[in-house]
Homo-oligomer: A and B are copies of this chain.
Amino acid sequence: MSYDLVIIAAHPDDAEVQMGGTIAKLTAAGQRALIVDLCDGEPADYAPLGTRRVQALNAARILGADRIFLDRQDRFIVDDIPTRLAVAGLIRQHRPHMVFGTTGACIHPDHMAVTPLVTAAVFYARLKNWDRVPGGEILANTEPWEIQRLFFPHCKMEPAWGDFAFAVDVSDTYALKKKALVEYSSIFTVQTGDQLLELYEAEDAHMGRLFGIAYAEVFKSHSPLLVSDPTVFLSGMHG
Q: Please report A residues at the B interface, Cβ cutoff 8 Å.
A: 22, 25-26, 29, 31, 42-43, 45, 49, 73-76, 78, 81, 84, 97-99, 107-109, 112, 116, 119-120, 122-124, 127-129, 132-136, 146-151, 157, 159-169, 195, 198-199, 202-203, 205-213, 216, 218-219, 222-239
Contact = CB atoms under 8 A, between A and B. Distances in A.
Interface of chain A, main secondary structure: loop
Nearest to A111: B123
Contact of A229 (B22, B165, B238): B22
A226 B222 contact: no
B159 A210 contact: yes
Contacts of A22: 229-230
Assembly of this chain: how many copies? Answer: 6
B230 A219 contact: yes
Which 3 A-B residue pairings sit nearest by Cβ, starting from the closest? Answer: A162-B162, A206-B206, A148-B235
Contacts of A159: 162-163, 210, 222-224
Nearest to A199: B209
A151 B229 CA distance: 12
Given A219-B230, A226-B235, 10 more contacts: A74-B133, A107-B123, A109-B119, A149-B235, A151-B230, A159-B210, A169-B227, A199-B237, A223-B236, A226-B236
